[in-house]
Structure 1
Amino acid sequence: YSVKCPLFVGMIEKGWEDTLENDELIKSYLNEFSVEIDTLILGCTHYPLIRKYIARHFNGNIIDPAEETAKSLKKIIGEGKYLQKPYLKFYASGDPEKFKKVAQEFLGQEICEVEKIIL
């Protein structure tokens, strides 16, 4: 089962705030499921940024595909054998400083550089 959440991305990119309006938006999207579900897969790279807010209204398992992919990759390449602290450079079409702030909070580590690109 899937539910489209078109308003999430823009709100996340602007800097998601913990507001009653956003809380109601999450609830409204979760209420669109026509059946009871026990596992929710976050189907967009933006959605893990609001996982803790989604979890307020969803008691089942919440899966972040990127996190699961990273765990699998870590198993493949070993526990730190080939891992070094990365130099993280990102390219963003929006405000580089805003992106850097959100990305650092989400990743839990320093972003070295964000370069603005023009689309």
Structure 2
Amino acid sequence: MSRQDQPIGVFDSGIGGLTVVRALRKLLPEESIVYLGDTARVPYGNKSHATIQRYALQAGTILGRYRPKLMVIACNTASAHGLGALQAAAPCPVIGVIEPGAEAASRVKGPVGVIGTLATVQSGAYEDAIRRRNPQALIHSLPCPLLVGFAEEGWLDDPITDAVCRRYLNQIPFEVRTIVLGCTHYPTLLNSLNRTRPDTTWLDSGELAAKAVEDLLRGSLGFRTASARGDLKILLTDAGTRLQEVGERFLGEPLDSVELVEL
């Protein structure tokens, strides 16, 4: 198989990264994708830097068996703590979701907000990446750890979700009109987020990462030569009872088959 016809490998701490796969499938439907979700050890947001880095390297080893032309860390926490280590170890290019989100945020006129897991926010990765591009940027970062659970429960149009979103987002000054969704679970909660904070521009790190992948493929990596819709292979480290329901909500299409693997 030629390099351009090899799949794109995508890794996440669980199933939240399926929102990134969804964006990739929409933007680059001909590309084949191998997705690995570490559902046995999710969440990563409350784990240490060393542990997250180790998990990312283990995921890269699994994905490497499929000879991907590119790997995407579709998890903000793993991008913040494991991207450099995986880039050094992987046999192919590796990108995360933070740099594309930071690139878009750095072009915002006025202050910008960032919401994510505790580990992502505490890492300072978004602040560092934004300020490398715009040293004068005014950034308001806020951990919103409860939102992951609401997304996985499917409480997408629920007054409790609205109330928690309001509780979190009221801590960000109201002059902030652009906020980065620094967790791949958060795009599923856009209805609640918009009701809580109307007239806000939300930067979806998954959609922005998909555009970054497109740019890389347009360069030396190359697009898949076949015109048919690409295959999607789902690998998980654990399959819970609600996997299909939750996974389809994030992916936006049927979750036909899943293969269990050990890291």
Q: Quick check: TM above 0.5? A: yes
The equivalent of 1:85 in structure 2 is: 230
Pairs aligned (count): 117
Kindly tell me: are residues 60 and 100 of structure 1, through their superposed partners in 2, closer, same or farther at Cα, counting changes over 3 Å?
A: same
Task: Please tell me whether residue 60 in structure 1 is matched to residue 200 in structure 2.
Answer: yes
Instruction: Pick the structure with more strand per residue.
Output: 2
Q: What do residues 8-29 of structure 1 show as CA deviations (whole Å, max 9, x unaligned)?
A: 1122223325221211111111
The equivalent of 1:99 in structure 2 is: 243
- The one of 35, 38, 42 equivalent to 2:181 is 42
**Secondary structure, in 3 states, of the residue corresponding to 1:110?**
coil
C-alpha distance in structure 2 between counterparts of 1:13 and 1:102, whole Å: 6
5+ residue gaps, structure 1, are: none
The equivalent of 1:70 in structure 2 is: 210
C-alpha distance in structure 1 between counterparts of 2:194 and 2:235, whole Å: 28
Q: State the TM-score, normalized to the length of structure 1.
A: 0.77
C-alpha distance in structure 2 between counterparts of 1:92 and 1:54, whole Å: 31
Q: State the TM-score, normalized to the length of structure 2.
A: 0.39
Asked if 2 retains the 8 angstrom alpha-carbon contact of 1:93 and 1:116, the reply is: yes
5+ residue gaps, structure 2, are: 1-139
C-alpha distance in structure 1 between counterparts of 2:237 and 2:191, whole Å: 24
The equivalent of 2:257 in structure 1 is: 113
Identity of aligned residues (%): 30
Bigger RCO (CA 8 Å, 6+ sep): 2
Kindly tell me: are residues 73 and 55 of structure 1, through their superposed partners in 2, closer, same or farther at Cα, counting changes over 3 Å?
A: same
**Secondary structure, in 3 states, of the residue corresponding to 2:143?**
coil
> Cα offset for 1:7?
1.2
